[in-house]
Amino acid sequence: MHKSQAKNPQYFEGILQVRDCTDEVIDFVREQALKHPFAFISKEKLVLGGGDFYFSDKRFLRSLGRKLEESFVGELKTSATLHTKSKETSKDLYRLTILFRQMSFKKGGELSYKGEVVRVIHVGNNVIVQDVKTGKKFHISLQEAERAAQYTKNLL
């Protein structure tokens, strides 16, 4: 079914919540939805520092979450909530909620972490940083890196 043939324009299978993000992230979400032939945004709520986007397709929503994580540095959390039971197949039907929280640091950027200046080498589930003076590499959590980025921003 094409977007223009959707039975109910308010129908949604999942919610994408973007928080602490730039306008660039919100524009990226809208552009990706326009490119897809079947998925559409059925409702949009803008909140302080982000927004909630109600999507008509769970598979598209999962792939969009991965694209956000690859394109922007951030934390991605996924959860599913039981919505109803299918009348035809008796299977449980779930609504998906994906939270993307953009981080205020970037790969290649420098942070002040425990009194030392470190450079961000890689961002994934954890952040790999390298001490600028000694060259030693180590892992820190996304939350620790975000706190270090906020601390570094306050120093400047």
Ranges of each domain in the chain: 3-102, 110-155
The yes-or-no verdict on residue 1 having pLDDT over 50 is no
Determine whether domain 110-155 maps to CATH 2.30.30.
Answer: yes
- Over residues 38-87, the pLDDT tens digits come to 889 999 998 888 899 999 999 999 999 999 988 888 889 999 888 888 78
DSSP lists the bridge partners of residue 74 as 102
The SS3 call for residue 114 is coil
Confidence (pLDDT) at 88: 87
- Over 90: is that where the pLDDT of 100 sits? yes
- pLDDT of the residue at 7: 63
pLDDT value for 152: 80
pLDDT of residue 4: 47
d(Cα 132, Cα 138) in Å, to the nearest integer?
12
pLDDT in tens, 7-22: 677 888 999 999 989 9
Q: Which of 114, 140, 113, 107 is nearest to 126 (CA)?
A: 140
C-alpha pair distances (Å), 15 with each of 8, 18, 62, 74, 84:
16, 10, 10, 17, 16
pLDDT of residue 3 exceeding 70: no
Contacts 24+ apart (CB under 8 A), 37-45: 37/2, 37/3, 38/1, 38/2, 38/3, 39/3, 40/3, 40/6, 40/9, 42/9, 42/10, 42/11, 42/12, 43/10, 43/12
